[in-house]
Amino acid sequence: MKRILKPKDQILQMAREMRRVPTPAEQVLWSELRGRRLAGLKFYRQDVIGPFIADFYCPSARLVVEVDGDIHDAQANEDAARTRQFEEYGYRVIRFCNHAVLHDLKYVLSQISAAALSPNPSPDSGGGELPYFLNSEGGEPPPSPNSGGRGRG
């Protein structure tokens, strides 16, 4: 008999599956982010934050890195809503298309490092040249990311 999963269990199962079968761009980026290879920063991949799965997440910088494939062209509104939700939780979001990761990895890594190591910009600053966004409204305290069985440390 097949077990019926609760929503929380379903999203954890989806995250595990996404870690097991990454896209080529995610695989390339993960090879550079894992093991604190980028500026000593700890990243997690396909991590559950609230009701969402972040492609990559750096807890110390409160930074979510999203790698967008062609499907994201058709779901711009959903991606914008997702970004706003992450921001409401207190995270910055930086997005890259698959093509950038696969063909200009050095640039992508420099942008991730700059975003992770820079202080949060003021909401009126426009974020400079970095492609990230900052929530200007306090809102509720951010949820603790679900570790999916991994320790945080």
Give the whole-angstrom CA distance, residue 94 versus residue 90: 13
Cβ density class 8-31: b for 16+ within 10 Å, e for less? eeebbeebeebbeebbebbebbbe
> In this predicted structure, what is the pLDDT of residue 124?
37
For 19-30, write each residue's pLDDT tens digit: 788 899 999 999
> In this predicted structure, what is the pLDDT of residue 115?
95
Give the whole-angstrom CA distance, residue 64 versus residue 56: 6
For 120-129, write each residue's pLDDT tens digit: 654 433 333 3
> In this predicted structure, what is the pLDDT of residue 74?
59
pTM of the model: 0.71
> In this predicted structure, what is the pLDDT of residue 16?
85
Domains, the chain, in order of start with CATH, read 7-119 (3.40.960.10)
> In this predicted structure, what is the pLDDT of residue 14?
82
Residue 4 structure tokens: 């019926």
Q: For the chain, which ranges sit under pLDDT 50?
A: 72, 122-153
